């Protein structure tokens, strides 16, 4: 026991140092791509830290969102910037001074936080026991889901609305003339054969894993956000490989998918005023099925919203039908008629 404890301590210290070093490097490095790659690696390490803290729910989220989707988003953003844009010589002294000032402030903040955190009460006051104690009334087995969908349902509900607003904000960056068209950021000109193969084989498996994550979330680590993120990632791969085109942003069906999660959440929450005497309350016997219905709808909406956030604002159409790479055409004869449904 003691040996595995000390091994754990070694692992934790090692991880901590590694993460700090990588974080510093990621901030300090000049190249945009290099920094993004550093960020992706950083996300992976942070996911490991969450595992060490026995917070697998958070680790799943970090791995899917922090490292996976954010990596794609940042790499696409880096691709839009001029590579390693030269800093004009005149501004460099000022920039360096600014960096030093910011660095000193951040270091100071970190020192204060560290000092303060070390003085926090021991054992830490926590609601974990209370959350676990009343969990049976919700029929759930995973207290994290209990917090997200029952005790603090309002936060989750409003976050789901935030996601819709973020998407509207992204779409607002489109040119007026391109409105209603298809998002274009994930179009690739010539996806190679390997990429197309990946996009043909991986998504069905990803769908299973995504639904599994949502479904298992009731009792084990997982949930709507993690499941939705995996589904969004699969969609993004299909888009990158040119096997389907992103949907038009003015499609009614797409909009419906985007709002069904929060809308259903609201509807069941409001019904709670009658059947449970409180907004966002659940009747005793029906709590679990209702929660699962909400989570299912949320998974769908989150997947669509995240996928569309990756796909960027609507852009001018390159031409009819999807962009098909040289390797994909054999298997893809009927595509142009099917992508309307995606």
Residues 19-58 that bind other proteins (CB under 8 A): 22, 25, 31, 33-34, 37-38, 40-41, 44-45, 47-48, 51, 54, 56
Is residue 114 involved in binding other proteins (CB under 8 A)? no
Among 14, 16, 98, 106, binds other proteins (CB under 8 A): 14
3-class secondary structure, 182: coil
Q: In sequence order, what are the residues at sequence separation of 6 or more whose Cβ sits closer than 8 angstroms to the Cβ of residue 3?
A: none
Longest distance between any two alpha carbons in the chain, whole Å: 70
CB of 87 to other proteins, least distance (A): 18
3-class secondary structure, 86: coil
Is residue 85 involved in binding other proteins (CB under 8 A)? no
As a whole number of angstroms, the distance between CA 305 and CA 299 comes to 10
> Tokens in use for 120?
């926090």
Point out which span in 87-95, 96-104, 154-162 binds other proteins (CB under 8 A). Answer: 154-162
CB of 290 to other proteins, least distance (A): 12
Among 66, 148, 222, 302, binds other proteins (CB under 8 A): 222
Is residue 3 involved in binding other proteins (CB under 8 A)? yes
Is residue 143 involved in binding other proteins (CB under 8 A)? no
As a whole number of angstroms, the distance between CA 4 and CA 196 comes to 44
Residue 314's alpha-carbon distances to 161, 163, 195, in angstroms, are: 21, 17, 24
Residues 283-312 contacting other proteins, CB under 8 A: none
Residues 157-216 contacting other proteins, CB under 8 A: 158-159, 161-162, 164-166, 168-169, 171-176, 178-180, 184, 186-209, 211-213, 215-216
> Tokens in use for 246?
């992103």
Is residue 7 involved in binding other proteins (CB under 8 A)? yes
Residues 55-74 contacting other proteins, CB under 8 A: 56, 59-60, 63-64, 67-68, 71-72
Q: In sequence order, what are the residues at sequence separation of 6 or more whose Cβ sits closer than 8 angstroms to the Cβ of residue 84?
A: 30, 31, 32
3-class secondary structure, 30: coil
């Amino acid at each position: 026991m003691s040996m595995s404890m000390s091994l754990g301590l070694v692992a934790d210290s090692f991880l901590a140092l590694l993460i700090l070093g990588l974080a510093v490097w990621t901030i300090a490095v000049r190249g945009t791509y290099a920094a993004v790659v550093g960020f992706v690696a950083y996300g992976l390490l942070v996911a490991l830290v969450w595992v060490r803290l026995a917070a697998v729910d958070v680790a799943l989220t970090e791995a899917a969102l922090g490292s996976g989707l954010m990596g794609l988003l940042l790499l696409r953003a880096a691709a839009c910037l001029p590579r390693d844009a030269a800093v004009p010589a005149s501004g460099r002294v000022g920039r360096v001074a600014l960096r030093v000032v910011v660095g000193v402030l951040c270091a100071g903040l970190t020192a204060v936080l560290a000092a303060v955190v070390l003085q926090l009460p021991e054992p830490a006051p926590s609601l974990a026991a209370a959350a676990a104690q009343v969990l049976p009334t919700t029929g759930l087995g995973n207290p994290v889901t209990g917090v997200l969908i029952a005790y603090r349902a309002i936060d989750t509900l409003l976050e789901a609305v935030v996601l819709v607003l973020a998407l509207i904000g992204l779409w607002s960056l489109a040119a007026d003339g391109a409105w209603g068209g298809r998002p274009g950021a994930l179009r690739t000109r010539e996806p190679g054969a390997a990429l197309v193969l990946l996009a043909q084989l991986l998504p069905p498996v990803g769908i299973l894993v995504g639904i599994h994550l949502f479904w298992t979330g009731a009792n084990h680590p997982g949930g709507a956000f993690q499941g939705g993120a995996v589904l969004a990632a699969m969609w993004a791969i299909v888009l990158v490989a040119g096997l389907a085109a992103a949907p038009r942003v003015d499609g009614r069906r797409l909009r419906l998918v985007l709002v069904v999660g929060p809308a259903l959440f609201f509807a069941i929450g409001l019904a709670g005023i009658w059947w449970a005497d409180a907004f966002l309350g659940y009747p005793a016997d029906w709590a679990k099925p209702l929660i699962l219905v909400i989570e299912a709808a949320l998974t769908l909406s989150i997947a669509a919203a995240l996928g569309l956030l990756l796909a960027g604002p609507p852009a001018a159409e390159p031409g009819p039908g999807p962009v098909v790479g040289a390797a994909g055409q054999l298997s893809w004869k009927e595509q142009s008629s099917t992508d309307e449904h995606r």
